[in-house]
Structure formats: C-alpha cells, structure tokens
Amino acid sequence: MKNQKTALVTGANKGIGFEVVRQLARQSFRVFLGARNAKAGREAAEKLKSEGDVVFLEIDVSSEKSIRAAAEEFARQSERLDVLVNNAGILLDEDKSALTITPEIFETTLRTNTLGPSLVAQAFAPLLKKSNAPKIVNVSSSGGQLEDGADGWAPGYCVSKTALNGVTVQLAAALPKCAVNSVCPGWVRTAMGGENATRSVGEGAATIVWLATDAPQDLTGKFVKDRKVIPW
C-alpha cells in the first residue's frame, strides 16, 4: 500500500521493542523489526506475522557499517520512513561503580546506547525527510535524569541515557520538521528490567507507541514519561 506508514524499531526481537512492533503493526504500520542477531530477528518477525505487516531488518547499532547497510536495504524496500524508534540498548553486568568501570565497558555502553541512535538517525534522515510527519522516539531511562542527582546504580548506563537525552535535543534542532523525543518507559519486566519490575511490557511500550503515532507533531526535543514532559 503506497500510503501505508512505515516504522523501524531497533533492538526489537524481544522485550519492549518487540511489543512496540506488535502495537504498531496492529495500527496498520509496515514495521521493520530491527535486530543485530539475524536468527532471533527473523524468528521474532515470524511470530508477529499474524499481527500485521512485519519485516525483519538486520541492524547492529554499535556498528556504523551495519547501520549504513541497513539504511540501504530499507531504501530498497520502502521509499520513506515515518517513524524511527531507537530502542536498542545494553546494560552490562560489569557496570557497577563510577570508580571501577573500565574504559572498555564505558565505551561499549555509550557506543550502543548513545552513539548508536545518533548514527541511526543520521543514516535514516533522508528517508525520514520524505515523510509528511516524521517522528523519532529515543528510548531513554529515568536513570539518565540529573535533576535529583544519582544513586550510583549502573553509572555507565545512566550516563549513556543522559547523553541520549542530549542527542535527542540536538536532533530536534537539526530536524525541525521531525518530532524527536526521548522517553522513559518506566521499570519494565524484561530481561533487562527483571521479574520484580513494576510495569508490564505493554505498559512500557504505551508511551513509545503514543509518541510514534498520536502525539502532537509540535511536541519535540522533550523527555516524556506516561505522555507527560518531565525534566532531565
């Protein structure tokens, strides 16, 4: 369908990303399910076939080469991109203390969680500009909030999310016709969040999907939780 809206969700073979793909597919989007593991990505896309138009796209957001290849492959399959959800992220076990985190762990975390979304936005910007109302949603975390200080938990991850909020503001300035926002999904029961988390995957995905679909186009450059702008 020529007028069918398209979306790309990175890191979408499980967890929040998988649920976002499901919900967007149910809203008649053609959704590209991005994952770095091709086997896991294809299996995830196959599981969602009954929900709508879901296509697997191999993309490792920590690799500039992979991102460029993914953008080229996407362009072969679609003439534009309406929604980019930068969901892929990592939280490494070794990320314990600001005094002991190694350069390797810090750099690996920043490459995926901060630089990755920036490079994906750069690579897909030409396709987003072809949309009448393009949107970018960067999945951040309350761990990135500076307003109330920090509690010392996973400092590399938290700094990467603070920086992602900064990337969001810069992208909003660079793409004035695009609604670019970051979102805190809350503490969600996923492999990363753990089984004691307070929110279901559906609840975690809800505001991401809202920003991708029904949120006002002039809402941009903000950090959002439960459909409300929050400080960071």
Q: State pLDDT tens for residues 60-99.
A: 999 999 999 999 999 999 999 999 999 999 999 999 999 9
Catalytic residue among 56, 106, 157, 232: 157
> Does 205 fall in a domain?
yes
Q: CATH number of the domain at 163, please.
A: 3.40.50.720
The domain of 157 spans: 6-229
User: How many angstroms separate the CA atoms of 171 and 178, rounded?
Assistant: 9
- Secondary element (H or E) of residue 209: helix 201-213
| 202-220 tens-digit pLDDT | 999 999 999 999 999 999 9
Q: Name which of 60, 41, 170, 40 is nearest 112 in CA terms.
A: 60
User: How many angstroms separate the CA atoms of 179 and 137, rounded?
Assistant: 8
* Active-site residue flag, 157: yes
pTM (2 decimals)? 0.96
> Does 104 fall in a domain?
yes
Tell me how far CA of residue 218 lies from CA of 14, 15, 146, 199, in angstroms: 31, 29, 25, 28
User: How many angstroms separate the CA atoms of 21 and 228, rounded?
Assistant: 22
Q: Are strands 223-225 and 228-229 parallel, antiparallel or unpaired?
A: antiparallel
> Does 1 fall in a domain?
no
Q: Name which of 72, 76, 71 is nearest 8 in CA terms.
A: 71
For residue 10, the SS3 value is coil
Q: From first to last of its 232 residues, what are the pLDDT tens digits of the chain?
A: 568 999 999 999 999 999 999 999 999 999 999 999 999 999 999 999 999 999 999 999 999 999 999 999 999 999 999 999 999 999 999 999 999 999 999 999 999 999 999 999 999 999 999 999 999 999 999 999 998 888 899 999 999 999 999 999 999 999 999 999 999 997 667 777 778 877 788 999 999 999 999 999 999 999 999 999 999 9
> How many structural domains does the chain have?
1
> Does 65 fall in a domain?
yes
Average pLDDT, whole number, for the chain? Answer: 95
